Structure 1
Amino acid sequence: MSERVSSLVRYALVALVASVSAFGAAGMVVALAPKPPELRAARAEAPIAIAVAPEAAAGERAEVAKAADGHYWAEAEVNGAPVRFLVDTGATAVALTPADAQRLGIRIDQLKYDYTVGTAAGQTRAASVKLASVSVAGARIDNVDALVIEKGLDASLLGMTYLGRLSSFQATRQALFLQP
């Protein structure tokens, strides 16, 4: 079983690297145009509005509205605590920033960072963790494999170790629908 999990995590890392690289490359294209400091500060302070659907009843379809920036940002409950995820169907694994991992009670200084991954910020290390539960608008999955990315990840990613365990999910122009 451990060999199977290790193989899944390795596969997840390859897909995560591609996903994070693509996400970072898009950010780099935007970052190439220099902006005056006052615009950079305003952009950094501007909140992104996120529409949160009410909790779905067991078996009902949950909904995540598309944000104004064109991404699906999911407000999830992970191990009972809130985490904001960028939904990324190209990421094989759920990937956590160190800050989100710490808020979840994960001791990042005690993790075994035995994987090397490439991000938009360059090579970094990752550690495998198991999340007791991940719930998005009521679509709950238990025992979710995830990675804590040591550096270079701007937002936690909701990847296929969560999405692939749903009965189905569908992205439309307005929303992402999750079927538990």
Structure 2
Amino acid sequence: MKDETVTIPDFVANQPLAIIIPVALVALLVLRRVPVIGPVVNLLVWLAIGAGLYFAIDQRARLDPYLGSVARFLQLDRQEVVGEEVRIAMSQDGHFWAKVRFGGIEQRMLVDSGATVTAISTDTAARAGLEVKPEPFPLLIRTANGTIEAKSGEIGELRLGNIVARDLAVVVSPAFGDTNVIGMNFLSRLQSWRVEGRTLVLVPHHPQKDG
């Protein structure tokens, strides 16, 4: 029978982390007690822990709605005005979500260049006090989930950073659930818009004061 005795060098070669991690922990414990080096080591340890948590949340937020809200709190889902541009970072789900204000409410809306018209849910329209127009004939909208029935409305003033869109036509339907979408009828009013890597850049014709 072949001798399968594992020597210490073999174990180290096959399981390097089993040796490296304990040695590193012991070294950290020793260094933390050194008067001059200790504070620096403590700072590096906390920075490493913070970086690990940051990247863990960033990755897991793609699949976990709760962590997605944590990521937004940590500004992984960021929107800011830089000069005359509004810059929106790509969210963990791979989409661009804009923070907008209209009708006295603040809303998170998906920016979708594939949508012809801006679309909002019935609940959002009610909270914003939006008047929905009665339609003499059903208004049918084609979506990725099929054709749905909707009603039309108009947002008097919608603000997105330093961008103001007035008298913006929208479609309203309970079929949208809790998702609200900014469509091409908003984007076409801009001077330009583009995607730079993981950032959506919106450039208005006449930038307004953000707020």
TM over 0.5, shorter chain: yes
> Which moved further from structure 2: 137-146 or 85-94?
137-146
- SS state at 1:53 partner: strand
Percent of residue pairs bearing the same amino acid type? 26
The Cα offsets for residues 78-135 of structure 1, whole Å up to 9 and x where unpaired, read as 2342111110011111000112111211256x74483022445544211111111122
Question: Is the 8 Å Cα contact of residues 79 and 86 (structure 2) preserved in structure 1?
Answer: no
For residues 1-180 of structure 1, the aligned pairs below 5 Å read 43-48=64-69, 49=72, 50-54=77-81, 60-106=84-130, 111-112=134-135, 114-180=138-204
For the pair shown, which has the larger CA radius of gyration, 1 or 2?
Answer: 2
Q: Which runs of 5 or more structure 2 residues have no equivalent in the other structure?
A: 1-62, 205-211
Higher relative contact order (CA 8 A, sep 6+): 1
Question: Is the 8 Å Cα contact of residues 124 and 150 (structure 1) preserved in structure 2?
Answer: no
Please provide the CA RMSD for this pair: 2.4
The Cα offsets for residues 25-71 of structure 1, whole Å up to 9 and x where unpaired, read as xxxxxxxxxxxxxxxxx9343334221214x67xx111111112211
Q: How many residues are paired up?
A: 135
Q: Measure, in 2, the Cα distance between the counterparts of 1:66 and 1:105.
A: 30
Q: Measure, in 1, the Cα distance between the counterparts of 2:176 and 2:118.
A: 15
Normalised by the size of structure 2, how large is the TM-score? 0.56
Question: Is the 8 Å Cα contact of residues 154 and 170 (structure 2) preserved in structure 1?
Answer: yes
Question: Is the 8 Å Cα contact of residues 141 and 166 (structure 1) preserved in structure 2?
Answer: no
Q: Measure, in 1, the Cα distance between the counterparts of 2:125 and 2:131.
A: 8
Gap change, CA 1:129 and 1:94, over 3 Å in 2: same
